[in-house]
Structure formats: structure tokens, C-alpha cells
Chains A and B, each alone.
Chain A
Amino acid sequence: GQNIDQPTEMTATEGAIVQINCTYQTSGFNGLFWYQQHAGEAPTFLSYNVLDGLEEKGRFSSFLSRSKGYSYLLLKELQMKDSASYLCAVRFPNSGNTPLVFGKGTRLSVIA
């Protein structure tokens, strides 16, 4: 089966660092994605991990451990505009047209 877990809500202060965790249980794995979604808008792509380790892209970094079924998204120097939902998504067995399966999302509130 497929199960993706992430915290429902988080709050952090402007300028700080926040880490959003995601765990998954799958019968197959072919990559983990993080998307940002502002209220009423479609998700926008943030990062993609398929190998273990850390991928850094500006203020955002994403980490993956396949053996632990674990990923996190790290946001540095938080800005008010970072207030959004962050969706962890997994692509399952290595098949060309396999869609992404999403977790329920973590709603991040950045406060002054």
C-alpha cells in the first residue's frame, strides 16, 4: 500500500529556519517531490529527490533517506510569502506514466 505522512500545521517566525518532515511507506519508490501551494492556487514544483542526500536550491533544501522512508524540506530565512501549504508527493513503481501520490500537506504560517 501507499501511505504518506506529514504534520498538518506548523508555525515559524520570519527570518527563522523551519523543517517540514515527510515519511512514507510504499511497496515501490521512484522519487519524492515537494510542492508549494498557496490557498486557492495550484501547486508549484520545489524539489525532486530520487537518491539519498540533500538537494539545495536557494533558500529551500530537501533531504531524502530511502532506507528510512523519510524526507524533509528545509526553508531558510523565512519570509511572510512562504506562508503556504507544502505537499510531499511520491512516485511509486518505476513505470513511465505513474502519477504522483500526495500527502495531506503541511500548512505553514510565518509570523512576524
Chain B
Amino acid sequence: GAVVSQHPSRVICKSGTSVKIECRSLDFQATTMFWYRQFPKQSLMLMATSNEGSKATYEQGVEKDKFLINHASLTLSTLTVTSAHPEDSSFYICSARVAGKETQYFGPGTRLLVL
């Protein structure tokens, strides 16, 4: 199956700092990538849909100025959590869909802890 990588896998930062998470499709081109967030014992909540070369589409309640998404190429999307606060601590997972296929493949996730 298609492989999606994320970096870093784990990050701890101080409140007020910004954190960038990278998502890469390793063996396919992903015109669309999705960013999800998962709090403990809860399901995945879609944050935004990222299309290569255009602005991301954010879900209701997700602040676009706080969660900056860039999808500059067909294999890379980045999520930047700006001015992170403890309530932003969560498991962030990206997902990509192979063009013409139905299945979404997930990256291994990034665990963010904001102190």
C-alpha cells in the first residue's frame, strides 16, 4: 500500500512557540492531504483538507490563522501550530489519498505536548 510519513513523531514545546509538522507521501503523488486531530480516547476529528497549490479548507471551529497549512508540492504538506498552548496538546495525523483511488492512507502521527 501507499506510504505516508510524518515528522516529527513526537514534540514537546513551550507555550507560545510554534511547531511545524511535515507530512510526506513517499511512493505516490497526493493532490489532496487531510489533517486530523485526535484527543485521548476520542476519534479522529478532521481539521482541514489540503489541496496542492491552493488554500486549505478548514472545518468549522478550526482557526486557520492558528493552524497554518501549506501544500506546496504533490508529496509534501505541512501543518504549523502557531503560538501553541497546552490545550493544543494532541495527536496530529495526516492522511493522503491516491489519485483515482478510494482509500485514505494515514501517516504515523505526531504527538504534540505543549507545556
Chain A residues close to B by CB (< 8 Å)? 31, 33, 35, 40-45, 48, 50, 87, 91, 96-97, 99-105, 107
Contact = CB atoms under 8 A, between A and B. Distances in A.
Nearest to B110: A42
B99 to A, nearest CB: 9
Contacts of B103: 33, 45, 48
Nearest to A91: B102
Contact of A41 (B45, B46, B108): B108
Given A41-B108, A48-B102, A103-B43, 14 more contacts: A40-B91, A41-B109, A42-B106, A44-B106, A45-B1, A45-B103, A97-B49, A97-B51, A97-B97, A99-B95, A100-B46, A100-B104, A102-B44, A104-B43
Interface of B: 1, 31-32, 34, 41-46, 49, 51, 91, 93, 95, 97, 102-109, 111
A99 B104 contact: yes
B93 to A, nearest CB: 5
B102 A43 contact: no
A86 B93 CA distance: 16
B108 A42 contact: yes
A87 B38 CA distance: 12
A45 B95 CA distance: 11
B56 to A, nearest CB: 11
The 3 tightest CB contacts between A and B, nearest first, are A42-B106, A104-B43, A97-B32
Contact of B107 (A33, A42, A91, A103): A42
A33 to B, nearest CB: 7
A60 to B, nearest CB: 15
A45 B102 CA distance: 11
Contacts of B1: 45
A91 B43 CA distance: 16
Nearest to B34: A99
